Amino acid sequence: MSAEPLYVTRPYLPPLDELLPYLAEIWESRILTNQGKFHQEFERELCRQLGVDNVSLVTNGMLALSAVIEAAGSAAR
């Protein structure tokens, strides 16, 4: 048997030196959560790729379901 661990999943990570300029920009803006520059750029690019007018990124499935329920309730009024 091999002593090397078997990874079921292992994310691809680009070289750190490629990420540092982006991290510097995030640190400079001091916006680490939703609606930062990269979040907004990603939403715009998803809209373009999907051919839709709006996309909303959320942290998890519960927030997504809550947003859908809220929107459905607003539409029914």
In a domain, 19, yes or no: no
In a domain, 22, yes or no: no
Closest CA to 16 of 24, 7, 27: 24
In a domain, 70, yes or no: yes
Q: Label residue 14 left, alpha or beta by phi (over 0 means left) and psi (-120 to 50 means alpha).
A: beta
Domain count across the chain: 1
pLDDT digits (tens, 9 = 90+) for 4-40: 888 888 889 999 999 999 999 999 999 877 788 999 9
pLDDT digits (tens, 9 = 90+) for 36-65: 899 999 999 999 999 999 999 988 999 999
Whether this model's pTM surpasses 0.75? no
Containing structural domain, residue 41 = 33-76
In a domain, 47, yes or no: yes
In a domain, 7, yes or no: no
In a domain, 10, yes or no: no
